[in-house]
Copies of this chain bind each other. A is one copy, B any other.
Amino acid sequence: MLTRRVRHVLSAHASPRGVGTRGRCGPSWGGDVDRVGTLLQLCADRHYISPGRSDAQLWRRGLSCSLGPLGAELRRNLLEQWWHSVTRSRAQVFGINTLSSSSSSSSSNDDDDRDTGGQLRTVESERLKRILEQQELSKEQIVHEVQTLLQRSPSVRTDLLQGALEEFVPSLELVNRKLPFGLAETGRCFQPSEGSDCPAEVTQTSLVWFCSPRTSSQWLDHWARQRLKWWRKFSLSPSDFSSSDVPEEELVEAASRGVRIVYNFPWGQEALEALWSRGDTELLKTHKGDRSKLQCRNERMSVPHVVSVTGNMDRGLMAFLSNSLQLLKKEDGKQRLLQRKVLKLHPVLAPVKVALDIGRGATVELRRVCEGLMQEFLETKISVWPGYLETVPTSMEQLHAKYDEMGVLFTVVISDNTLESGLLQVRSRDTTIKETMHISEIRSFLSRYISAADKI
């Protein structure tokens, strides 16, 4: 399990606060150190991250790690929300889908040594090994052959910008050479592992916006406002998300202005998304300086300027998990102080909307009712947790504690009463209130609840 890693994070963030030892999660009441440890343990226990392959350091660096079923669904929801918000906010945003690797010969940076600095290439290890094993070759020959193989190996992308710059020309025809328009894409990008043996991947979101030189600064502000609003929409405490201008000394090459959207993690601020006003340098370079291919009808046939909006959704996922974890004190029946952990993910993001369980009664009949209800939910694309399949007896209290940690919005309990009167019990994660509802109403109640939360 995570224990070793959790300890690692705890020691990395040692603070004088919080040294309780209650429960398996180690220190628990208050304090940022405890919070990180508790969150990581919960994410592993509740199948957000895969316990065997997760690593707190990866999270802190904002890198991908293997996700369990709940994490995978949260990631899907997050990317879908990003996609809708970006591609459907304006008529002029189009989705694209480019390759993760490109053949070296088509690379636009052939003649530019600076750009090949951190470049990663996928090499066929057998071919490389065969070269190294050729005893008859001289040192110079081996060096030459390895260099040739390396040059011919495809390079993998480190960001999505280059793909969008290349798609600019075909897309221009689509919009009849009229500005502004944008190209959106999400996908995995690769980073040099910086000395460690660990592969470094990032799930990126990218909007590349092409506009007239005159308006690029306004568009940068427009998208920065939109993006901040988006992050805050799904958060429990919106003030933990903020945006700020990038100081001049930190600007990326070619950029005249930059804005970062950051999240206040327990261990400090980290950038979730970066927006840059990049001018036309990179676009011109990608298309070998051929201005005639790049000119647009409006704005006096000028070459458009590029505003890039690049997000790290692995870090975004962690931000929402961190933001939504509530640690509450609670007394149990014997007046012992317990900690209640609730993952209050936004209804739209929560990977499981409803858990279906059975109470007292004839198990076979109750399960049949659950199966019918399950199908109904799946048809409406409401994700369900099939608690009724569980055969190991658990108390309702334990069940609620588990579902709260999973972030399940509602728990529906089917019992003998349901068979008689059609009434079932619905318990809310956020209010902990239990209500009685007729079985015929539950589906539309949930749909309405989720879409109402989406519209706020």
Contacts and interface: CB of A to CB of B under 8 A. Distances in A.
A153 B391 CA distance: 45
A391 B178 contact: yes
A73 B170 CA distance: 16
A368 B400 CA distance: 50
A197 interface: yes
A251 B92 CA distance: 49
Contacts of A66: 96-99, 163, 166-167
A247 to B, nearest CB: 28
A171 B47 CA distance: 8
A371 to B, nearest CB: 8
Contacts of A138: 139
A156 interface: yes
Given A125-B119, A126-B116, A198-B103, A72 B50 contact: no
Nearest to A297: B391
A118 B124 CA distance: 7
Interface string A23-37: 000000000000000
Given A66-B98, A66-B163, A374-B91, A156 B122 contact: yes
Contacts of A153: 123
Nearest to A95: B72
A132 interface: yes
Contact of A68 (B72, B102, B118, B167): B167
B170 A147 contact: no
Interface in A159-192: 163, 166-167, 169-171, 174-176, 178, 183, 185, 187-188, 190, 192
A-B interface, 3 closest residue pairs, ranked by CB to CB distance from nearest: A154-B199, A69-B94, A101-B199
